Amino acid sequence: MHLEGPFVNPLAAGALPRADLAGPSVAALAALLGPATGDGRGIRTVTVAPELPGSAELVGELTRAGVRASFGHSRATAAEARAVLRGGGGASGRPEQPFGVTHLFNAMTGVHHRDPGLASLALTDEALVVELIGDLVHVGPEAIDLALRARGAAGLALVSDALEGAGTGCDVFHSHGRAHLCHSGAAWYPGDRDEAVSGPPRDGVHAPRSERLAGSATGQLEAVQRLVARGVVSAADALTMATFAPARALGMETELGVLAPRARADVIELDPKSLALRRVLLAGRPLPAATSA
């Protein structure tokens, strides 16, 4: 599990409910993990805003507990994030379980030539494996190209950031007490009247300025297909970003995300032209083909 909070900056919370956030502290982490390690509770990654007081101590405790820290939902400068990264065990450039950056470019300080933010550090520091949402709504093609040129496919872990409505066929679903609309491959919710944020065109018309981006409605395979079909990423790079890079982020690249002896035989077979799903194997055994009701 990846806990995208609660230790994030309320000023960069995005769609996360601000009432449920908490300041970084070792005591709060202990309440989440209990007596077990991260593996024992299934928690492998926790998003942390590195500029918040207590974040350095929290990241150190995460490292000791075997839980990966991922920087995100943050207003940190590059210098603030780098200080926590180096203090938390990322100074070698390749810790056993690399630090991460949660959904690059979204809910974080960006790339600026005089005032570099978290996105600048994500593009330049090899100690980080960086998440990238591949629905082409959260991140545009030029920014994806920039990230790929800077970090390479193995340094960019494709993530869906999908919410409950993804894959259901629903146009509307409810989460955290509010309605969300699914269109253009993403999920949106009504924002405050003074929030001047517009969505992508829907049927040729721009979404209302009060509609805010909440998450994705695109699954991982669909994102791969979309990136390749639109010529944004090559099939080889897209598949590396969707398989090897996420496994590397968790320190499991010898077990997952590779076709190699002694690796886990969880495999999908895709059509070489369309990338449509042909077959699924779990532990080397084919799953029965899905049937419609």
Stretch 23-50: mean pLDDT: 83
For all residues of the chain together, what is the average pLDDT? Answer: 88
Beta strand 211-216 pairing with 186-190: antiparallel
- Quick check: 197 and 144 in contact, CB under 8 A? no
User: Residue 164 pairs with which residues in a beta bridge?
Assistant: none
Q: Which residue has the tokens 């790929």?
A: 148
Task: Specify the pLDDT at position 199.
Answer: 46
**Pairing outcome for strands 128-133 and 201-202:** unpaired
- 3-state class of 273 per DSSP? coil
pLDDT digits (tens, 9 = 90+) for 259-270: 999 999 999 999
Mean pLDDT value across residues 220-229: 97
CA contacts within 13 A on the Cβ side of 183: 16
- Distance of CA 72 to CAs 144, 283, 290, Å? 18, 34, 37
Please give the average per-residue pLDDT across 28-36, as a whole number.
81
For residue 120, give both structure tokens.
Answer: 């600048």
The tokens for 157 are 């872990």
pLDDT-based confidence at 292, cuts 50/70/90? very low
Is 31's pLDDT higher than 70? yes
Among 135, 225, 217, CA closest to 183 = 217
For the chain, the helix, strand and coil percentages under 3-state DSSP, each to the nearest 5: 30, 20, 50
Contact 74, 108 (CB under 8 A): yes
Residue 36 has a pLDDT of 61
Q: How many CA atoms lie within 13 A of 193 on its CB side?
A: 0
Token readout for 45 is 């990654």
Query: Above 70 in pLDDT, residue 172?
Result: yes
- Predicted local distance difference test score (pLDDT) of residue 88: 67
Lowest mean pLDDT among 40-44, 45-49, 212-216, 238-242: 40-44
141-156 pLDDT per residue, tens = 999 999 999 999 999 9
First to last CA, the chain: 31
Domains defined along the chain, listed by start: 2-163+219-260 (3.20.20.140), 172-216 (no CATH)
User: Is-cis flag, bond preceding 10, omega within 30?
Assistant: no
The position carrying tokens 């590396």 is 240
pLDDT (average), residues 157-165: 94
Model pLDDT, residue 293: 44
Distance CA 256, CA 275 (A): 20
**Element of type H or E holding 141:** helix 141-151
Give dist(CA 148, CA 282) in Å, integer.
30
Higher pLDDT, 112 or 210: 112
pTM above 0.85, yes or no: yes
